[in-house]
């Protein structure tokens, strides 16, 4: 049986207070050392320490779990959790959240803990775990905390805690996040270049274009006759795969370059006398075309980001493809931000205007603190920072097009820096952070650590699935994997990375 014991409680540290000196790390008893470290929490209240024994079944080491609340301003309450393993590898790992929430769960920390990283997590400045609830943004401090401050303060306090607990500073500090965690990752690289030596940003929800895309996609399918049944989406997916799946040398249910796929929805348009469940209406053809091509705002930016051909069966995760309007994500939480984005103006989200409403939302004061769109990473690169960007090609939420747009913007701002400090990967057939028919498991942390700690710049990586049914090489973008025509398709040696079509 796993046992845990609470060994310390401290409710102190006045707002704005400094680092409280902690006793020197005790020799021998890890539990006593855990108790002593509570005094090292910076600008914190309600600090508790929990010593947790090793768990052979899960593979988790023994660790000291420290929880507290940080108060960088009087109205700010940033919940943080740190897990400090016995047998520490000398490195700190910050972990991002998801949706409109942080993530302080042990599940999120377990990968790092098993590798003996000290882990740092935050609730993002509000305790709600409802990922689509944005009501808490009514508090300006909570909005600022979630936008960028919580991750930074979590990191600063975490470094002080690590030093107090282990008696020395960390050798390296990394950050790993997907979705909202990917936005947090980019925010760290852009605003707080000193925080991390290496950063992993997966499927980053880094601008309000993700939310406006969600609303506009729902509205597109809600037009008369434009909705789809799962069977019709499967019909579309089968037709797309038939046309483009084998272009990478192997028909395996994955399209390596969806934006180079010439398939057109019109090939499935209904002919006179054809049954409706075997073809597409004019409204459905039009809706699909818009999903693939996206919608531009007047300034040329995306109001609705494109979706990838070949990922149609995953769309229902974030989009109401049946035409019923909104989904459980309520347009990515955008309607709950009405006051912040539009002030007192009433907006009908079922008729969201890409020419007026979307530009106004992105010009709001909230957007200025929330969006992580700045391509200037020169400060992060100058101190040797490394950034891995990655995205699932079939993601029905934030589009891989957005991630590629950001990678290209970084390279345009600093070509030499990007060449040396940035690597981008696109995973065919993979959904939002995980899932889909593609190989969705990659050792991103190992690749980053090898790059930062050993100077081994990552090249082709290996992606697998939990059930071991698929193994594929993942090439550094803009290269793509191409099957050689012989050998086991699950042997990476049967593939080679080739130049991809320009996109």
Per-residue pLDDT, 129: 87
Residue 441 lies in a domain: no
150 shares its domain with 276: no
Tokens found for residue 108: 């999120």
Residue 2 lies in a domain: yes
Centre a 10 Å sphere on the Cβ of residue 134 and count the other Cβ atoms it contains: 24
Residue 98 lies in a domain: yes
Number of domains in the chain: 2
Per-residue pLDDT, 38: 79
In 208-288, the DSSP E strands lie at none
pLDDT tens digits along 271-305: 999 998 899 999 999 999 999 999 999 999 999 99
57 shares its domain with 128: yes
Higher pLDDT, 421 or 129: 421
214 shares its domain with 152: no
Pick the last residue of a domain from 325, 357, 389. 357
**Percent of the chain whose predicted confidence (pLDDT) is above 70:** 93
User: Would you place residue 18 in the very low, low, confident or very high pLDDT band (cuts 50, 70, 90)?
Assistant: very low
User: Would you place residue 44 in the very low, low, confident or very high pLDDT band (cuts 50, 70, 90)?
Assistant: confident
346 shares its domain with 259: yes
4 shares its domain with 113: yes
User: Would you place residue 501 in the very low, low, confident or very high pLDDT band (cuts 50, 70, 90)?
Assistant: confident
Pick the last residue of a domain from 334, 357, 380. 357
291 shares its domain with 157: no
- Locus of tokens 């030093």: 163
Residue 93 lies in a domain: yes
Length of the chain: 503
Residue 404 lies in a domain: no
pLDDT tens digits along 217-253: 999 999 999 999 999 999 999 999 999 999 999 999 9
Residue 123 lies in a domain: yes
Residue 345 lies in a domain: yes
Residue 476 lies in a domain: no
52 shares its domain with 121: yes
Average pLDDT for 15-31 = 42
pLDDT of 25 higher than 80: no
Q: Are 320 and 222 in contact (CB under 8 A)?
A: yes
Per-residue pLDDT, 503: 79
129 shares its domain with 235: no
Average pLDDT for 159-174 = 96
Q: Are 132 and 331 in contact (CB under 8 A)?
A: no
Phi, psi of 325 (to 5 degrees): 100, -115
Give pTM, 2 decimals. Answer: 0.93
137 shares its domain with 282: no
Per-residue pLDDT, 328: 66
- Look up the domain containing 351 and give its range: 210-357
Phi, psi of 182 (to 5 degrees): -70, -35
**Percent of the chain whose predicted confidence (pLDDT) is above 90:** 86
Torsion of CA 431, 433, 438, 440, to 10 degrees: -170
Per-residue pLDDT, 21: 30
216 shares its domain with 165: no
129 shares its domain with 41: yes
pLDDT tens digits along 479-494: 999 999 999 999 999 9
pLDDT tens digits along 425-477: 999 999 999 999 999 999 999 999 999 999 999 999 999 999 999 999 999 99
Per-residue pLDDT, 14: 27
Orientation of helix 180-191 relative to helix 150-166, angle to 10°: 80
pLDDT of 168 higher than 70: yes
Q: Which residues pair with 93 in a beta bridge?
A: 119, 174
Per-residue pLDDT, 45: 87
Tokens found for residue 81: 């959790």
pLDDT of 265 higher than 60: yes
Per-residue pLDDT, 330: 77
Pick the last residue of a domain from 169, 194, 220. 169
153 shares its domain with 272: no
């Amino acid at each position: 049986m796993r046992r845990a014991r609470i060994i310390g409680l401290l409710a102190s540290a006045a707002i704005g207070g400094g680092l409280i000196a902690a006793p020197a790390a005790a020799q021998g008893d890890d539990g006593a050392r855990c108790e002593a470290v509570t005094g090292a929490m910076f600008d914190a209240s309600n600090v508790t320490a929990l010593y947790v024994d090793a768990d052979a079944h899960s593979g988790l080491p023994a660790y000291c779990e420290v929880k507290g609340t940080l108060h960088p301003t009087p109205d700010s309450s940033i919940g943080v959790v740190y897990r400090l393993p016995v047998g520490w590898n000398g490195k700190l790992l910050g972990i991002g959240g998801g949706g409109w929430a942080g993530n302080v769960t042990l599940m999120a920390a377990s990968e790092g803990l098993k590798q003996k990283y000290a882990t740092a997590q935050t609730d993002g400045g509000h305790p709600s775990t409802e990922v689509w609830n944005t009501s808490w943004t009514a508090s300006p401090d909570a909005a600022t905390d979630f936008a960028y401050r919580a991750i930074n303060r979590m990191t600063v306090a975490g470094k002080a805690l690590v030093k107090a607990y282990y008696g020395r500073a960390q050798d390296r500090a990394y950050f790993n996040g997907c979705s909202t965690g990917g936005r947090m990752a980019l925010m760290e690289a852009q605003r707080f270049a000193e925080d991390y030596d290496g950063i992993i940003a997966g499927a980053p929800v880094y601008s309000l274009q993700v939310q406006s895309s969600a609303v506009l996609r729902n509205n597109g399918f809600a037009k008369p006759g434009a909705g789809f049944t799962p069977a019709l989406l499967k019909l579309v997916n089968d037709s797309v795969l038939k046309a483009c799946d084998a272009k990478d040398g192997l028909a395996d249910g994955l399209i390596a370059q969806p934006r180079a796929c010439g398939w057109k929805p019109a090939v499935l348009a209904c002919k006179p006398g054809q049954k409706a469940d075997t073809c597409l209406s004019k409204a459905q053809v039009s809706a699909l075309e818009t999903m693939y091509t996206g919608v531009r705002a007047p300034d040329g930016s995306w109001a609705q980001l494109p979706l990838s051909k070949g990922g149609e069966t995953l769309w229902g995760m974030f989009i109401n493809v049946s035409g019923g309007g909104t989904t459980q994500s309520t347009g990515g939480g955008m309607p709950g931000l009405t006051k912040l984005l539009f002030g007192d103006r009433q907006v009908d989200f079922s008729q969201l205007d890409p020419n007026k409403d979307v530009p106004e939302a992105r010009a709001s004061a909230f957007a200025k603190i929330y969006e992580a769109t700045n391509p200037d990473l020169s400060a992060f690169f100058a101190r040797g920072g490394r950034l891995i960007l990655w995205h699932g090609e079939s993601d029905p939420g934030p589009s891989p097009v957005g991630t590629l747009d950001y990678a290209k913007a970084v390279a345009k701002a600093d070509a030499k820096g990007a060449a040396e400090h940035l690597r981008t990967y696109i995973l065919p057939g993979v959904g939002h952070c995980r899932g889909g028919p593609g190989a969705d498991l990659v050792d991103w942390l190992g690749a980053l650590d090898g790059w930062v700690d050993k100077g081994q710049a990552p090249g082709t990586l290996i992606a697998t699935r939990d059930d071991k049914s698929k193994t594929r090489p993942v090439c550094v973008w803009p290269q793509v994997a191409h099957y050689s025509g012989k050998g086991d398709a699950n042997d990476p040696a049967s593939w080679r990375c080739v130049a991809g079509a320009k996109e």
